[in-house]
């Protein structure tokens, strides 16, 4: 099965963390931290989202087996995020 990622923060999507639509049904594109009840939980720019996600660098490293610095993580996100639905122009 193909791994799906939150189209706002890039977090791997599993059924446990799916966001919700306005009618309460699961949203297949966004995680619960970014999207709840049919709207984004926070109004922010892509760069603000990158800064927000960078605070989880240690946890991401632990889960992925990487050992990236916060700056390296931010650079990866700057490459990846423009391809996500929320940030595409």
Domain boundaries, the chain: 18-83
Which residues in 1-89 belong to E strands, given as ranges?
18-20, 26-31, 35-36, 39-40
pTM, two decimals, is 0.89
Contact 54, 77 (CB under 8 A): yes
Tell me the pLDDT band of 2, cut-offs 50, 70 and 90. Answer: confident
**According to the model, what pLDDT value does residue 29 have?**
97
> What whole-number percentage of the chain has pLDDT above 70?
99
Report the alpha-carbon distance of residue 27 to residue 35 in Å, rounded. Answer: 8
């Amino acid at each position: 099965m193909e791994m799906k990622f939150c189209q706002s923060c890039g977090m791997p999507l599993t059924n446990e963390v799916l966001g919700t639509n306005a009618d309460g049904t699961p949203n297949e594109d966004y995680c619960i931290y970014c999207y709840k009840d049919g709207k984004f939980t926070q109004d922010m720019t892509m760069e603000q989202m990158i800064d927000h996600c960078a605070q989880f660098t240690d946890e991401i490293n632990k889960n992925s087996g990487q050992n990236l610095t916060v700056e390296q993580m931010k650079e990866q996100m700057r490459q990846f995020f423009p391809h996500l639905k929320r940030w595409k122009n």
